[in-house]
Amino acid sequence: MSALNTLSNNQKVQLRNAFTIIDGDSRDSTITKQDLKNLYTTLGLPTPTDKQLGTMLEGKDGVNFTQFSNIMAKEFSKFDDKLTIYNALKVFAEDTPTGNSTTEEEFIIDVDTLKEACCSVQLGEIGSGDHRLERKTFDKLVNGFIKEEIDGKKVFLASKWLDAYID
């Protein structure tokens, strides 16, 4: 299925408007490096390098509206993936001492509880053998995203992990 098929009609209209703005004065129905440079200049932002601009255009000289829409739809899908993982991790979040849930920016997850849950789930087909996440693999994945609390409890910094691993 094309990533473009995942967009709502409203999103397609918004993308058309954005494409038209980025295409700028050239109105050649192609976003080029020059169009992107002009956009950054207009916005008062530092202009990316030619290499960065090439990456934005996926190595092409320019992208048409369909290509642009597909690129953007793929980027939008990453937000959905991140939100799904965020919501799954939020299930393990503890309440703050006042009884209110922590902010969306950072929430508290006991790393041992999360580890037990992640390493006990069968990842493969039923009957295909033991395909659970190994504890040492879990430890590598969360390395650098755990802080010790005063009471000795290890806390997983979920939002920082999401920012680092889920683009």
Which residues, at least 6 apart from 35, have a Cβ–Cβ distance to it below 8 Å?
A: 22, 23, 24, 26, 62
What pTM, to 2 d.p., does this model score? 0.48
Tokens matching residue 56: 């934005």
145 located within any domain: yes
* Same domain, yes or no: 71 and 95: no
Containing structural domain, residue 17? 3-77
CATH of the domain at 30: 1.10.238.10
* Same domain, yes or no: 104 and 61: no
Per the CB < 8 A criterion, the answer to whether 92 and 117 are in contact is yes
Instruction: Give me the phi and psi of 90, to 5 degrees please.
Output: -60, -25
Which residues, at least 6 apart from 135, have a Cβ–Cβ distance to it below 8 Å?
A: 115, 119
* Same domain, yes or no: 70 and 107: no
82-118 confidence digits (pLDDT tens): 777 888 888 888 764 433 444 445 677 888 888 888 8
How far apart are the C-alpha atoms of 17 and 68, rounded to whole Å? Answer: 12
23-82 confidence digits (pLDDT tens): 988 889 999 999 999 998 988 888 999 999 998 888 889 999 989 988 888 877 766 667
Of 151 and 59, the one with more pLDDT: 59
